[in-house]
Chain A
Amino acid sequence: MVGDIHVKGLGLSFPQQNGIHEVLRDVDFVIHSKEFLVLFGPGQCGKTVLMEAIAGLLPPTAGSVEDAQGSPLRTQELCMVFQKYALFPWKTCRQNIELPMKFKGVPKQARRKRAADLIHLVGLDGFEHSYPRQLSGGMKQRVAIAAAYAKECPLLLFDEPFGALDAQTRLQMEQELVRIWQQEQKTVVLITNSIDEALLLGDRILVLAGSPSSILEEYDLREFPRPRSLSDRPLLNLRQSILDRGFFENEGGGDLRCE
């Protein structure tokens, strides 16, 4: 089992025609066990790169990602939901959800049962046998989330999972995610470029920005009770103070939610 996860002095660069493109430098933070951590940053600041480095998909150029015992994270202990819905188009909704269990060697009976529960959990009853192309964007993302839950791992990484959804569905999915996170006792790391989403969901918010990017600020929201509403005075004040810091200055500033 993973406890706290330490991201230590992480640096990541890509080779380019003229020299190297340094995306991350000296990224340092801790992911506490069972917390809901939000990584917040402007577009192209390296959020996806950072998450893929945590997931072990991109080898860091410097630094490391370690569990509480100081050893690297193992793929079995985590799951990642990608920014682009990475469902397999050749598998039905149920087959997509069963896949991680199949890879683990869970027997068929148990797989079916768990998949049915998860389909119910994400509200897709009746769509078991639909292929991804037959589902809407929001439904596809729910399948991807259900597949991540099916893996039964303590750490869940979400890369802007709701970026492509309409406001209504998005709100509903956000609430669903919080409910599932509370119910299943997981550690969740969620990337967003929406300050509202960050404020509504996070136990803590880490701001990733700069060039090369690093963690510029940390906000602790554990004292804000859930469910949260953006009309709460203290939350609004915090929102304003984050906006005033101007992390988005090169993008015209402000919330990206309405883009």
Chain B
Amino acid sequence: MNGFSERAAPRRLLRLLPLLSLLAFLSVWHLAALCTDLLATPLDTAKALAGMLFFPTSKVTLLHHVWASLCRVLAAYALAIAAGVLLGVLFGWSRRFHDYCYPIFELLRPIPPIAWIPLIIMWLGIGEPSKIAVCFIGSVVPILVNTYFGVSRLDPTYLKSAKILGAGQRALLTHVILPGALPSILTGMKVALSSGWVCVIAAEMIAARKGLGYLIIRSMESGDMVHILVAMILIGSVNFLFSWLFSKLEGVVCPW
């Protein structure tokens, strides 16, 4: 009994630790803001955030900016999953397809998605498609690479076993190859979501009328410190939320 309560106390303390470190961070921020004019105080930032929720900045409210960025990322993400999984499975499945096409992919892969922006704007203009395209490039690469590795590293015994149990090509794909590669595909999808989010911000910083990337660049142009901070906080929070949602999802779709 005694031992139990002795151990329970520090555990409760441990749970408070993240909160304490957050508090410390905010205090340092606050002090820095008071002593210099390099930062706005956390309180001012929070006030600005609250204000922007209800009053439009650049014609739309804050949630609209978030929503605009989100839509671009998710549209690109859906396309990237479809294309990445398809190509990844093909690369892992067909020796010949791999030998013919993988070198091209290896050649293009080292070009950062952001370096594509000028070319894409020349091709697609500055509308929605160009932003979606940049995010797509950022998202498709990790999905493709991870799917490919997942498929090619599948234990050959599974393939033999499926063949012996009477699986046709299609059953092999749906019951063995895809589920076998799923943990790896999910890892790719997790990285891709983050990378897509980074890309959308970059694309919006160059050409957009709304979105968090636009918000941050516009605030910079008008020297508006609080709004830069608000945008940064939101960009971080959304990405954090993505990761959190994803770790929940992994347990649901991959229960084994």
Residues of A at under 8 Å CB distance from B?
A: 52, 55, 57, 75-76, 78-80, 82, 84, 86, 88-91, 99-100, 102-104, 131-133, 147, 151
Given contacts A88-B175, A132-B256, A100 and B166 within 8 Å (CB-CB): yes
What is the 8 Å Cβ interface bit string for chain B, positions 145-188, against chain A (1 contact, 0 not)? 00000000000011011111111100100011001101000000
Q: Is the interface of A mostly helix, strand, loop or mixed?
A: mixed
Q: List 21 A-B contacts (CB under 8 A).
A: A75-B166, A78-B164, A79-B164, A80-B164, A82-B157, A82-B160, A84-B157, A86-B157, A86-B158, A88-B162, A88-B176, A88-B179, A89-B256, A99-B175, A100-B165, A102-B175, A103-B166, A103-B167, A104-B166, A147-B165, A151-B165
Q: Is the interface of B mostly helix, strand, loop or mixed?
A: helix
Tell me whether A90 and B166 are in contact (CB under 8 A). Answer: no
Q: Which of A75, A99, A104, A131 has the most CB of B within 10 A?
A: A99
Q: Which of B163, B165, B168, B182 has the most CB of A within 10 A?
A: B165
Instruction: State A55–B171 Cα separation when bound (angstroms).
Output: 20
Residues from chain B with Cβ under 8 Å of A86 in the complex: 157-158, 160-161
Residues from chain B with Cβ under 8 Å of A78 in the complex: 164
Q: Which of B160, B166, B171, B255 has the most CB of A within 10 A?
A: B166
Residues from chain B with Cβ under 8 Å of A132 in the complex: 256
Closest 3 CB pairs of A and B: A86-B161, A103-B166, A90-B179
Interface residues on B, range: 20 to 34
Residues from chain A with Cβ under 8 Å of B255 in the complex: 131
Tell me whether B256 and A131 are in contact (CB under 8 A). Answer: yes
Least distance between B182 CB and chain A CB atoms (Å): 7
Residues from chain B with Cβ under 8 Å of A133 in the complex: 256
Least distance between B180 CB and chain A CB atoms (Å): 7
Instruction: State A79–B171 Cα separation when bound (angstroms).
Output: 17
Residues of B at under 8 Å CB distance from A?
A: 157-158, 160-168, 171, 175-176, 179-180, 182, 254-256
Residues from chain B with Cβ under 8 Å of A103 in the complex: 165-168, 171
Having A57-B160, A79-B165, A131-B256, one finds 11 other A-B pairs with CB under 8 Å, namely: A57-B164, A75-B163, A78-B164, A82-B161, A86-B161, A88-B158, A88-B162, A88-B179, A90-B182, A103-B167, A104-B166
Residues from chain A with Cβ under 8 Å of B157 in the complex: 82, 84, 86
Residues from chain B with Cβ under 8 Å of A104 in the complex: 166
Residues from chain B with Cβ under 8 Å of A80 in the complex: 164
Tell me the nearest residue of chain B to A157, going by C-beta.
B164
Residues from chain A with Cβ under 8 Å of B175 in the complex: 88, 91, 99, 102
Tell me the nearest residue of chain A to B179, going by C-beta.
A90
Residues from chain B with Cβ under 8 Å of A91 in the complex: 175, 179, 256
Instruction: State A103–B255 Cα separation when bound (angstroms).
Output: 23
Instruction: State A89–B157 Cα separation when bound (angstroms).
Output: 12
Tell me the nearest residue of chain B to A133, going by C-beta.
B256
Least distance between B181 CB and chain A CB atoms (Å): 10
Least distance between B250 CB and chain A CB atoms (Å): 13
